[in-house]
Structure 1
Amino acid sequence: MRIRPAAVVFDYGNVLSQSQPLPDVQAMAAILDLPVPRFRELYWHSRLAYDEAALDPSTYWENLASSASRHLTGAQLAALIETDSRSWSHPAPAVPEWARQLHASGLRTAILSNMPVPVREYITRCPWLPAFHQRTFSCDLRIAKPAPEIFRHCIDALGVPPSETLFLDDRPENIHAAQALGIHGVVFTTLDEVARELDRRFDIPVPLTATLDKRNEENQ
């Protein structure tokens, strides 16, 4: 028997949005005169602390530059913050529209995401971002996934029990943390794979692309 959740909670990066486009990553690496692999390594090294607002933007980027024996000018710092924020602003195919569909169907919807203040300020101004009943960001709470407190905050604000909540995230460790609290979880891989799993396990609308694919299979 399929489960009918009362709420669907979305991670942001790699779920609602695409992965960072390579040109944006290359642009940030070029500002620091670093190879892309080295830049990526330094970018993620202290990212969780940045997401939790334990580091402000200047400190995060200056620490990153210092780790590579680089010194940032004010203009370079501003360019890194702007490019980083923009890099996370590209909508994923079909998922934002699907979130709108769920919202319109009467389900409670939310974002639960680890992200720093500049990225949160940037993406919440994007016209493509759907309306949600609740937006929970690590930088506002100074707590990041997979800490249980951030999940509890989100579902408490939604007013829905964990057993009636579905959570989608691209990181298995975050799904495991949600499941430990009684939340239903699905690891977001590809849209088609996730939609098939949702259709099998849950009584909710699925993304249009998967619906069309299912109809094509039935008509063959």
Structure 2
Amino acid sequence: MIKLVLFDCGGVVMKADDAHIKARWAAKYGLTTEELRRILWESEGCRLSEIGEISDHAYWESLASQFPLATPQELQVMRAELWGAFAVNPRVLAWVDRMRAHYRVALLSNASDVIAPLLEQHGLTAHLDAIYISCDLGVTKPDAGIFLKVLRTEGVAAHEALFIDDRAESVAAAAAQGMHILWYVGEDELDRQLQVYLPTEQPASSMQEGEHAAPV
């Protein structure tokens, strides 16, 4: 029986409308958007910020060596614009609230210390029973350790938890620990998949004979 539902943050509960921002900054420094993405999110500094070894502010300061033409002020403007592009996904948030009526619901995200004030700013903390951020746990998805830490803290077995994420490697890692998983590919598919976890909203009379509402 499911007792805990874990939602990813970036790309699921929150989404960033930032393509135009990335394109503008990439063009400014003579980069492609893919090159900019790799510099920003695949650097050692990013990894360190996501496991809590350095702050998000310090990480962005460290990027000066990657952007020799940029001033420190420009890098902080880029940082503010990219984080500011995040907004709550209302359809997913509605599912957070619906699931919370039946289960304990938490957030599990790879992020630096910037995420806590961002969640508060968007009013998300009030919708969640717990928030687990990689910078506080010292480990990131898809490492098995992050799932084991959360399960241990919550006092639930792996088969009692459902994990929802938009990254294939993260859902595969959760599944390897024995957790129920949903690979988030869009709101319509999420609507279909999560219905089976709300048995009280699916009367037995509405099902075909021999059909069972089993988790996907």
Given the two structures, how large is their TM-score scaled by the length of structure 2? 0.79
Given the alignment of the two structures, is residue 79 of structure 1 paired with residue 77 of structure 2, yes or no? yes
Which position in structure 1 is the counterpart of 2:123?
Answer: 127
Given the alignment of the two structures, is residue 17 of structure 1 paired with residue 14 of structure 2, yes or no? yes
Q: 1:136 to 1:177 in 2, by over 3 A?
A: same
Amino acid aligned to 2:193: E
Q: Which runs of 5+ in 2 are unaligned?
A: 203-216
Q: Deviations over 1:156-203 (max 9, x none)?
A: 222322111100000111111111111111110011123323335774
Amino acid aligned to 1:169: D
Displacement over 6 Å in runs of 4+: none
Distance 2:70 2:154 in 1: 44
In the TM superposition, residue 141 of structure 1 has moved relative to its aligned partner by 1.8
Given the two structures, how large is their TM-score scaled by the length of structure 1? 0.77
Is residue 51–residue 112 contact of structure 2 (8 Å, CA) maintained in 1? yes
In the TM superposition, residue 60 of structure 1 has moved relative to its aligned partner by 2.6
In the TM superposition, residue 97 of structure 1 has moved relative to its aligned partner by 1.6
- Give the count of matched residue pairs: 200
Which position in structure 2 is the counterpart of 1:214?
Answer: none
Moved more, 108-117 or 148-157: 148-157
CA-atom RMSD, angstroms?
A: 2.7
Q: Deviations over 1:62-96 (max 9, x none)?
A: 443422433432x22432332232123x1124111
Distance 1:168 1:176 in 2: 11
Distance 2:53 2:159 in 1: 32
In the TM superposition, residue 14 of structure 1 has moved relative to its aligned partner by 0.9
Which position in structure 2 is the counterpart of 1:192?
Answer: 188
Which position in structure 2 is the counterpart of 1:112?
Answer: 108
In the TM superposition, residue 109 of structure 1 has moved relative to its aligned partner by 0.4
Which position in structure 2 is the counterpart of 1:69?
Answer: 68
Which position in structure 1 is the counterpart of 2:156?
Answer: 160
Give me the identity figure in percent.
26
